Amino acid sequence: MKRDELQEKILTILTEDFEFEKPGLDDNLRDDHGFDSIDAIELLGKIELILGYKLSWEEKEKAMSIRTINDILDYIETIETSRKP
């Protein structure tokens, strides 16, 4: 999936499911939108649905450094790249 498609899906999730208003790609999710650890777990579940597979524990641990929407997109691209044969 291309980055712009991922971006659209992530922005839709954040606005519809987490009620973000006009999220910027470099907004700090926690500071600017009140995103907490429970939200992060829920978002990881939604990312798994987008990708069509479960994330490994190691992949989930890497998500702990996510702070912005751009970080989410980079994270997904890294996972997708590492899983390609």
Structural domains in the chain plus CATH codes: 3-83 (1.10.1200.10)
Average pLDDT over residues 12-39: 95
Looking at residue 1, its pLDDT comes to 82
pTM here is 0.91
Q: Which two tokens stand for residue 9?
A: 């899906």
pLDDT in tens, 28-85: 999 999 999 999 999 999 999 999 999 999 999 999 899 999 999 999 999 999 887 7
At residue 85, the pLDDT reads 74
DSSP states of 47-83 as a string? HHHHHTSPPPHHHHHHGGG--SHHHHHHHHHHHHHHH
